Amino acid sequence: MSQTPILIETSFADAIAIIAAADEVPIQTRRHWTTSLRQIAKALDKPLEVIPARLTAIRADLAQLHHVPTGLTRKTLQNHKSNVKSALLWLAREKRIPRHGAPLTPAWEELRAQIKDRFVRWRLSAFMRFCSASGIAPAEVDEVVLERFLRYRAQSGTVRGDASGRRLARTWNSNVGNILGWSARRLGEPAVKPTTELPWTEFPEGLRRDLDRYLQSLTKVRRSRNGRRIRPLKPSTIRQRRMELAAAARMAVRTGVAIGDLNSLSALLSPDVAEKILDAYWAKNGETPKAFTIDLACRFVAIARETKCVDEAACERLDEMRRDLEDRRTGGLTEKNTALIRQVLTPGVWN
């Protein structure tokens, strides 16, 4: 699906290799440090290759980690955090790993030194380091470079919304004409993504009719394939099913499927279309598919078999997709519920 991006600075994976080869560090310390780096990466649910090996980059993430969802005891997690901090500080001190990311080239350093506003300097810092590491001179910065930077940040696990690119462009433009040597080129702000959705009434009548018929069947008692009695679903659950399937149809259109071709439930659940939908959701999720994507694959199989809208061969292909996604389902709580549990378990909350 998505490839693990390469950091422009030392990663946890690089740190483990450096520490393992450091004969000057006692072997037991090396073992503790490398084990803790792996455990913290697992707790953060990120590949070792995308986590920067510097304390300033992960301090906030470390502070948010709680022992309950990691399956570790409070003491063990604290030990891993302490080992990681010690390892990263050692790397910065002994191996000259930059404490603040990729070093700036002289040209970028000169420009940064002229920025008086501390907030503006902070907002442009990561972008300047990215350009320095990528060999991009200040005069070469344009919208393509900005897009490359935003894509890199997204792929490396740094959560940023569309507004982040617009703020960065405005901050860059605020220095045009005000700082000696600053490029005269003003950056165009990334376009605001439209929030309007394709109206459901725009989809072919056949698909809408089939979906209504299927959802209506969920209001009645029905039998499973092995004859087990299935109770009617609640109205709220049926509304949720409608929203999920309508969203899947819209996703199919976004992947390039002609809206006119989605003229029935069988067309929506055809393996070729279903695969495009699931791949698009997976790509949107990142390295690991989220529960919604996996559950949607399960839903496709269940609907196909219950309605018999596609043949058995198509059902088998849908089931292969489901199994492939199920193999990547992670256990434990969702991010939302994990955050809630952390708040509840925070000392002093109930005082």
pLDDT at 349: 45
pLDDT over 60 at 182, yes or no: yes
pLDDT at 9: 80
* More confident: 24 or 165: 24
Q: At what angle do helices 235-254 and 271-285 cross, to 10 degrees?
A: 90
Half-sphere exposure for 135 (CA within 13 Å, toward CB): 0
pLDDT at 136: 92
Q: What is the pLDDT of residues 308-328, one digit of tens each?
A: 999 999 999 999 999 989 888
Q: If DSSP codes are grouped into helix, strand and coil, which group holds residue 95? A: coil
Query: How would residue 330 be classed by pLDDT, with cut points 50, 70 and 90?
Result: confident
Element (DSSP H or E) covering residue 171: helix 162-174
pLDDT at 70: 80
Total-model pTM: 0.47
**Distance linking the first and last C-alpha atoms of the chain:** 47
Using left for φ > 0, alpha for ψ between -120 and 50, and beta otherwise, residue 71 falls in left
Reading the block at residue 152, the tokens are 């890199």
The torsion defined by the Cα of 37, 104, 137 and 143, in degrees rounded to 10, comes to 50
Q: Kindly list the distances between the CA atom of residue 173 and the CA atoms of 128, 163, 188, in Å, as whole numbers in the listed order.
A: 14, 15, 9
What is the Cα–Cα distance from 26 to 67, expressed in whole angstroms? 28
Stretch 226-254: mean pLDDT? 88
Q: What is the pLDDT of residues 193-235, one digit of tens each?
A: 555 578 899 999 999 999 999 999 999 887 766 777 878 888 8
Q: Which percentage of the chain shows pLDDT scores above 90?
A: 44
Q: What is the pLDDT of residues 33-64, one digit of tens each?
A: 999 999 999 988 888 888 888 888 788 888 88
Residue pair 44/51 in contact (Cβ under 8 Å)? The answer is yes
pLDDT at 44: 84
Tell me, what DSSP letter sits at residue 92?
A: H
pLDDT over 80 at 290, yes or no: yes
pLDDT at 58: 83
pLDDT at 269: 94
pLDDT over 50 at 351, yes or no: no
pLDDT over 50 at 2, yes or no: no
Among candidates 98, 97, 14, which has minimal Cα distance to 48? 14
**CB pairs under 8 A, 24+ apart, for 338-342?**
338/66, 338/69, 341/66, 341/68, 341/69, 342/64, 342/66, 342/68, 342/69
Q: Rounded mean pLDDT of the chain?
A: 85
